[in-house]
Amino acid sequence: MAMPTPRAAQGSQAEPTAGAAVLPEDVLRDILLRLPAKTLCCFRAVCRSWRSFLSDPLFIAAHKSKHPGPLIVTCIRDLLGDGGGTINIMDLSGHVVRRMTTSIEDATLLCTRLDLICVTGEKDCHTSGHVIDPATGHTLALPYKRAQEHAHVKAFFSYAFELGQVVSTGEYKALRCVSVDSSCHGSEPMISEVITLGGGRGGGDRHARWRERPCPPCPVTSGSKKSVVVNGVVYFLLDFGSHRFTYSGDRVEPCSIACFDLEAEEWMGTLRGPLQVRNFIEAGNGRCDYSDLFRKLSLVNMNGFLVMVHDPMGYPLDLWFLVDIEKCLWDRKYSIGFQYENLFAQPLLVLDDGRIAIGTSDLLRIYDPVSESYTEFQMAGSRLFAIYTGNLLSLKSSFTSEAKHCTTCGCYFIPEADQHCEECMWHLYWLSVDPDSEYHKSRMPLSLSVIPLFPET
C-alpha cells in the first residue's frame, strides 16, 4: 500500500516552503511504526489516505511486532458516584494509553491475559459481566438469564466467574459457578454454566447462551485472586479453610486446586499444591492455621504459567510455577524478600530482562532480582490488574455476528425478542414502576463510553 501524503484542504492557497523535502516512503513508514498507538489513532483524523494507511492490517501487524507490550489494565471503582468505574490501560511506565469508563455496578476487573477485558459487577446477588474490546470500544453485556436446564432453580447466587480462550480454536468462553442456597458454604452442590462468545474459527456469537455443565468437585470462588485462566484451563484454589470435604465426601487437601477445561467443558479433577506450602502450617509451629494460609495464597498467570503466590506476613513472597501438570511438579523460581508493600500483591509477568512486574495497592512495582531493588509507578485506586495482549490499532469488532446493539445504552448484547440488553431492561422496568427514581435514571447512560484520547480544552 502506497504511503499517504497529507494534502492541503480544498481551496487552500498554501504553497510548499522553499527547500522543503518529502521524506522517502520507507523512512516515513519507519517513523510511524515507532510512534505509540495513542498517537497513531489521532493521526487517522489527518485525512482519508492517512486513515486508510494507518488502518491497513499489514501496518497494524507491523506496529504490533514493534510494540509487543505488555500493557497493564486496572479498573478504579467509583465509590462516590454511580458505582461504575474507570478502566485504564497503561504501559510499564505508568502512562495511560487508553481510558474508558464503565457503568456496571460494583465494577471489578477480572485478572485476565487476553486481547479482551472483562469487568464484573453484582446486582441482586447475580454476577453480571461486560466483555470489552479496548481497540474498538465495544462492549458485550453477557446475559443474566440462566441456562435452560436450570430454569427451575429458585435461588441463584453467583460465586465464581472467569473468562478465557480455548487454545486450539481461539474461542472465548466464560464459566460461572453459582450456589443454589445463598451461601458458598452450603451443602448443596454448586451449579456450573458455560457461554461461548465466538472469536475462533467459525467464530460468531451464535452459541452465546449459558449452558449447563457438570458441578465442581467442591465450592469454588473467584474472590481475592483465588482463580485464574491459563492456556484454556480455569484453576480455582479450593477454600480448604472452610470446606474440609468435597461433595463426594473426599477430604480437601490444603492448597489443592480444581481445574476446568474450557475446550472440553469438563472438570479435570483436583491438582495438589507445592509440598512446602502444604506443610507451611506444621513448619510454622502454630503461628498459622488453615484459614490464614488460604488468605495468603493466590493464583496468577505469569508468562503462560500457572503460579501459586504465597505471601505470609514476615516471610518472603514466594512464586511457585507449575512446570508439569501431569506429574504435579512445582518450582519456586522466585523468593522475594518481605516488604509490607507486597502484602496481597499480584505478580503480573516476568519481563525480557528478568525483572518482575508486581501489582500492589495503588502501585505498579518493577522488581530487579539481581539488585533486589524496585522501580515504582503510582496507580492510585488500583487493586486488581489484567494484562492486555491485543492491538489498540485494530478496527475489527469482536461482537458483530449475531450480537446486536442495545437501543438504550449502546452496548452489544445477545438478542432475544427485545431491543434492550438485560441490564437496561431491569432499569427500564423499575423506571416504569417509579419514573422519578434518580438511581435508575443514573444507570441509563452508555454502559461503556470511550474518553477521547485528547479531550478538547
Instruction: Report mean pLDDT in 10-residue bins for the chain, 457 residues.
Output: 54 47 77 85 83 85 82 83 79 85 83 92 66 86 80 74 93 88 60 82 57 88 87 92 70 89 94 91 71 90 96 91 94 94 91 94 92 89 89 72 51 50 54 60 47 33
Predicted pLDDT of residue 417: 41
Predicted pLDDT of residue 202: 42
Predicted pLDDT of residue 365: 93
C-alpha cell at 164: 478465557
Residues 6+ apart with CB under 8 A from 103: 82, 83, 84, 409, 443, 445, 446, 447, 448
Predicted pLDDT of residue 419: 46
Strand locations in 167-287, DSSP E? 172-179, 191-198, 211-213, 227-230, 233-237, 257-261, 266-271
What is the C-alpha separation between 56 and 394, in angstroms, rounded?
A: 9
Predicted pLDDT of residue 46: 82
Give the Cα-Cα-Cα angle 51, 387, 328 (nearest 5 degrees): 145
What is the C-alpha separation between 403 and 421, in angstroms, rounded?
A: 10
CATH of 70-405, one of 3.30.470.20, 1.10.579.10, 3.30.460.80, 2.120.10.80: 2.120.10.80
Predicted pLDDT of residue 76: 86
Kindly report, as residue ranges, where domains of CATH 2.120.10.80 are found in the chain: 70-405
- Region of residue 377 (left: phi > 0; alpha: psi -120 to 50; beta: else): beta
pTM of the shown model = 0.80
Predicted pLDDT of residue 254: 87
166-187 pLDDT, tens digit per residue, is 999 999 999 998 877 655 455 5
Chain CA centroid to CA 155, Å: 28
Predicted pLDDT of residue 32: 87
Predicted pLDDT of residue 264: 95
Q: Are 375 and 365 in contact (CB under 8 A)?
A: yes
- Residue labelled with grid coordinates 489484567: 386
What interhelical angle do 57-66 and 25-34 show, nearest 10? 60
